[in-house]
Amino acid sequence: MMRRFDMRLPAIVLWEGASEFYTETQNVSARGVFFYLDRAVSADTRLQVTLTFPPHLTLTEAVRVRFRARVIRVEHPLPSLRIGTAARIEDYEFLRSNGGPDFYSALQKEWKATN
């Protein structure tokens, strides 16, 4: 079993037929991620997820990672509006931050504004 790390990281989730959704992870492992969405997605749905690892974790500047994943589990606890989503990471790439240490702050600010 792969070790999971309880990490609250800002995340942008995108899937076919939906606009970008801003959330944060609950836990992350080398092979998967768990986060909450405001709507259900079906198991086996392909997702694109972009995470930002902040400077205090990377010991350098903020690092963005975009990965393709597939939903493997969906949790529907009632009466919560948050839907737990577990996804298996299939592929990933590191993204350039385009020169700004402000990227992480801007993403956090945008995420907070949508929640």
Tell me the torsion sign for CA atoms 45, 82, 51, 57: negative
**pLDDT for 101:** 46
Give the start-end residues of each E strand in 29-62.
32-37, 46-53
Domains of the chain: residue spans and CATH: 5-114 (2.40.10.220)
Tell me how crowded residue 65 is: count the other CB atoms within 10 A of its CB. Answer: 16
Longest C-alpha distance within the chain, in Å?
43
* Segment 26-51, tens digit of pLDDT: 999 999 999 999 888 999 999 999 99
The overall pTM is greater than 0.85: no
- Residues of the chain short of pLDDT 70, as ranges, are 1, 97-115
Tell me the torsion sign for CA atoms 68, 24, 109, 65: negative
**pLDDT for 107:** 60
